[in-house]
Amino acid sequence: MSGSLRAASINTAVLKAATLVSPAGVELTLYERLAFLPPFNPDEDGERPPREVAALRTEVARADGLLIACPEYAHGVPGAFKNALDWLVSSPDFDGKPVALVNCAARAFHAQASLRETLVTMSARFAPEAFVTLPFIEPANDAMALAADERFAVPLRAALSTFAAFIHDGWAGRRR
C-alpha cells in the first residue's frame, strides 16, 4: 500500500520496484484504490460498509502481509492513508497481520513513528527488521531505474526476503 496519491509518487514507485525485485515465491499486489475510499465515518462502519471499504478489507484479508510505503506530510501520516487505516481498525482480518514499512526519506521519521503507533494499536505484527529506510536514488519515481540500481534493489530485496521469512515462520508457529 502506498500512502501517496501523486501520479509521480516516489513511494508508489518504490513499491512498483519491489514487485520487480521480489524474491522467488513472493507476489506483490499494489493497492491502487486509496483515492476512492470515502472519508471514514463510524456510522457507516457497520455490517455493510461502503463498497470500496469492503473491497479494501477483502484485499487485506487475502494478503499474507502488508508492505507499506508512506510519505510524511507536516510531520504526520497523509490524511488519505490514515483514512484507509481508520477503515481497517474494525476489520477482524487486520488483527495479527504482518506489516513491513518502507521509508523512502530518512528525514521523515515523524510519520514512520506515527504509523508504527497506529499499526501497533491496530494489532499489526511487525517483523523485527520490518523497517527499512532506503537510500534516495534519482530518478526516485522511476520504478524500473530503481529496480536496476543495486544500491536500491539489494536492500529492498533483502527486506522482502526477511519479511517473507517472518510471515512463513508466523504461519509455521501457528500450526505447531
Buried b (16+ CB within 10 A) or exposed e, 107-118: ebeebbebbbeb
Q: How far is CA 55 from the centre of its chain?
A: 16
Percent helix, strand and coil across the chain, each to the nearest 5: 50, 10, 40
Minimal distance in Å, beta carbon 76 to ligand FMN? 7
Q: Specify the stretch interacting with ligand FMN by CB under 6 A; choose among 2-10, 35-43, 45-53, 142-150.
A: 2-10
Which residue lies nearest ligand FMN, judged by its C-beta? Answer: 71
Cell of 15: 513499491
Q: Which residue in the set 10, 34, 37, 101 belongs to the binding site for ligand FMN (CB under 6 A)?
A: 10
Strand partners, 73: 76
Residues for the chain: how many in total?
176
Sequence-distant (6+) residues with CB within 8 A of 39 are 83
**Residue whose CB is less far from ligand FMN, 108 or 158:** 108
Q: Specify the stretch interacting with ligand FMN by CB under 6 A; choose among 34-42, 66-74, 145-153, 165-173.
A: 66-74
Q: Specify the stretch interacting with ligand FMN by CB under 6 A; choose among 5-13, 83-91, 128-136, 155-163.
A: 5-13
Is position 105 an interface residue for ligand FMN (rule: CB under 6 A)? Answer: yes
Minimal distance in Å, beta carbon 93 to ligand FMN? 26
Q: Which residue in the set 7, 24, 35, 74 belongs to the binding site for ligand FMN (CB under 6 A)?
A: 74
